[in-house]
Amino acid sequence: MSIGSKSKKRVVLPSRPDPPTVDQILEDIHRAAAADPVFSVLEDTGQDSPRPPDSDVDLRFLQCRQFLELNQRLQAARGRLLEQREELGAAGGRLQSDVAEVKGQTL
């Protein structure tokens, strides 16, 4: 049996949960400490605000904006990865076909 055998059983994953509501997101942000790793990751991305926030509301707004920008970059990276996955799958299919052709020539 080959490594790429199609007889493997597929694992059925549970369905994804519903995305959080805006109220749940805001509640989560308000409960988060300023030292929360998500906010420190955003700071490490070099996305400095043009001016220091004047209030806690401004700080949360900037953090939300940075989070959304990071999320957009992650979505773009996800799209690129999906394209690369499809390309690899096509290359794998061509490779299997070529291997089968070579095996057929040697018989």
Average pLDDT over residues 42-65: 70
- Pairwise CA distance, residues 100 & 103, whole Å: 5
Would you state the pLDDT for residue 33? 80
Average pLDDT over residues 48-67: 76
The average confidence (pLDDT) of the chain is: 81
CB 67 within 8 A of CB 42: yes
CB 42 within 8 A of CB 14: no
The confidence band for 53, taking pLDDT boundaries of 50, 70 and 90, is low
Which residue type, as a one-letter code, is found at position 103? K
Q: In 15-95, at which residue ranges do the beta strands (DSSP E only) sit?
A: none
Residue 1 pLDDT > 50, yes or no?
A: no
Closest by Cα among 70, 57, 66, 54 to 26: 57
Taking the model in full, what pTM does it have?
0.41
Would you state the pLDDT for residue 82? 94
Each residue's pLDDT tens digit, 10-50? 888 888 888 889 888 888 888 888 777 777 666 655 555 45
The confidence band for 67, taking pLDDT boundaries of 50, 70 and 90, is very high
Would you state the pLDDT for residue 11? 81
